Amino acid sequence: MKNLLVKEGNDLLVSRMQQTENTQFEVKGCVIGGEKTIVIAGPCAIESEDILKETAFKVRASGASMLRGGAYKPRTSPYSFQGHGEEGLKILARVGQDMNMPVVTEVMDSEDIGLVAEYSDILQVGARNMYNYSLLKKLGRLDIPVVLKRGLSATIEEWLLAAEYIMAGGNCRVVLCERGIRSSETWTRNTIDLSAVALVKELSHLPVMVDPSHGTGVRSLVTPMSKAAIAAGADVLMIEVHPNPEKALSDGPQSLTPRGFSQLMREIEPIARACGRRVK
C-alpha cells in the first residue's frame, strides 16, 4: 500500500510508524482506545434539561459511558433550530455531572473554544469544520480531547492530516470519527465508510469512533452498522437517542428511542466479545 503519511522522511505524528501501540487516554474514568468499546449516546441537540435528563438516565441504564448533545448546531438551513448555545452547554454540564457521565459537544467557532471547553470533557469538531485549519490549530494548543469528524467528502489522507494539525500543536488526545461521506446514493443520508475504519486503524495509532446515526441517517440501519463498526475495529460508537424522535428538533429520523438503544447495546455485546472487547 502506498504510504501517504511520510513527509520528507519523517513520519507524521498520527502515523503508526511513529507510534506502534494504540493511543489510549482516560476521560473521567472512561478509557478511550482500551479494551472496552466506549458508547457515547444522547440527542442530536440539547433541547431542554428534562429531555436531556430523561435521555441520559435511560442510556446510562443501558450501558452508555458518555453523554452527547449539541448546543451549537451546524444546520443546513439558517432557519432551522441552531441550538441553545451557552444555555445548552450549562444544561449538558449539569446533567453530565448529575449522571456521572463525561460529556461531548461540538465547538463550531474558534471564538467559542474557551466557553465550550469550560463545560465539556471532549470537544467535537464537526464534519463541516474538518478543513477549518485555524480552528484545528487552536485546539492543538489546548489540553482537552478532541473528536475529529471526517469531512463530508474528505479523503482519508485529508482527514489524517487534519488530525495532524491538532497533534502538531501538542494535543495528542484526538479521536478520529467516521460519520459517512457523500456518495451518489440517496436512500441513505451519507455512505458510511467502514473500510476507512479498518484502514485508519492500520495507518494510525489514534482511536477511531463511528457515528452510524449521521453515517446512515436511517434509524433502522443504526444497529446493524454499529455491529459492523465494532467488527471493523471501532473503539468508540456515537449514537443519537431521543425519547420522542418524532418530536425531535433535529435528526429525529436517525435517532433511536431509549428502548431501541437498549436493544442496540444488547446486540453489539456479543460482537464486541467476539472481537476481544466488551461494551459494559
Q: Report what 149 binds from Mn ion, ligand PEP, none; CB cut-off 5-8 Å by kind.
A: ligand PEP
Contacts of 216 (CB under 8 A, 6+ apart): 180, 188, 189, 190, 192, 222, 225, 254
Q: CA-CA distance, 152 to 155, in Å (whole number)?
A: 9
End-to-end CA distance of the chain: 36
- Partner that binds at residue 161, options Mn ion, ligand PEP, none, CB closer than 5 to 8 Å by kind: none
Q: How far is the CB of 251 from Mn ion (least distance, A)?
A: 4
Of 70 and 258, which has the nearer Cβ to ligand PEP? 70
Shorter beta-carbon distance to ligand PEP: residue 178 or 269: 178
The per-residue b/e assignment along 264-274, b for 16 or more CB within 10 angstroms, e otherwise, is bbeebbebbee
- Partner that binds at residue 127, options ligand PEP, Mn ion, none, CB closer than 5 to 8 Å by kind: ligand PEP
Q: Which is nearer to ligand PEP, 74 or 270 (CB)?
A: 74
- Nearest residue to Mn ion by CB is 44
Nearer to Mn ion, 18 or 188 (CB): 188
In the complex, the smallest distance separating the C-beta of residue 114 from Mn ion, rounded to whole angstroms, is 24
Interface residues toward ligand PEP, by CB under 6 A: 44, 70, 74, 106, 126-128, 149, 179, 214
Asked if 176 contacts 205 with a C-beta cutoff of 8 angstroms, the reply is: no
Rounded Cα gap, residues 101 and 23, in angstroms: 22
CB of 201 to ligand PEP, least distance (A): 20
Residues 6+ apart with CB under 8 A from 176: 148, 150, 159, 160, 163, 200, 204, 206, 207, 208, 209
Question: Could you give the CA distance from residue 280 to residue 122 in angstroms, rounded to a whole number?
Answer: 20
Query: Which one, 147 or 265, has the nearer CB to ligand PEP?
Result: 147
For Mn ion, the binding residues (CB under 5 A) are 44, 251
The site partner of 74 among Mn ion, ligand PEP, none (C-beta below 5 to 8 Å per kind) is ligand PEP
**Side chain identity at 184, as an amino acid letter?**
S
Residue 103 interacts with which of ligand PEP, Mn ion, none, CB < 5 to 8 Å by class:
none
179 interface partner picked from ligand PEP, Mn ion, none, CB below 5 to 8 A per type:
ligand PEP
How many alpha carbons fall within 13 Å on the CB side of residue 175? 32
Quote the CA–CA distance of 223 and 14 in Å, as a whole number: 30
Output the smallest distance, CB 43 to ligand PEP, in A: 9
Q: Which is nearer to ligand PEP, 106 or 112 (CB)?
A: 106
Output DSSP code: residue 20: -
